[in-house]
Amino acid sequence: MEVIKETFGQLNGETIFSYTLKNDNGMEVTSINYGCIITKMLVPDQNGKVENVVLGFDTVEEYIEHPHFLAR
């Protein structure tokens, strides 16, 4: 298991971090410490092709602008 912490953005002077957990089976999940929002989940299909199965945004500002997350 691998854990990666990265800067995702800034909000009101506070740093928002993303945390990615990777396992040995090729799956990874990323969430941010702004409401523990899951921003990405990469999973392999039966043929090993990895796809992101989460509809999400790339910035903190987009999550604030669209609080229901799927309102693109």
- The count of structural domains within the chain is 1
> Is residue 55 situated within a structural domain?
yes
pLDDT attached to residue 25 = 86
In a domain, 7, yes or no: yes
Query: pLDDT (tens digit, 9 = 90+) per residue, 50-59?
Result: 999 998 889 9
Q: Could you tell me if residue 57 is inside a domain?
A: yes
Residue identified by tokens 């092709």 is 49
Ordered DSSP codes for 23-53: -TTS-EEEEETTTTEEEEEEEE-TTS-EEE-
User: Does 8 fall in a domain?
Assistant: yes
Q: Which domain holds residue 35?
A: 2-65
Classify residue 50: in a domain, yes or no.
Answer: yes
The model's pLDDT over 5-43, given as tens digits with 9 standing for 90+, comes to 999 999 999 999 999 999 998 899 999 999 899 999 999
In a domain, 41, yes or no: yes
pLDDT for position 67: 79
| Alpha carbon distance 61, 56 (integer Å) | 12
pTM of the model: 0.85
Interval 4-15: pLDDT, tens: 999 999 999 999
Whole-Å CA distances, 15 to 8, 24, 34, 53, 54:
8, 29, 10, 26, 23
The partner residues of 37 in beta bridges, in order of sequence, read 32
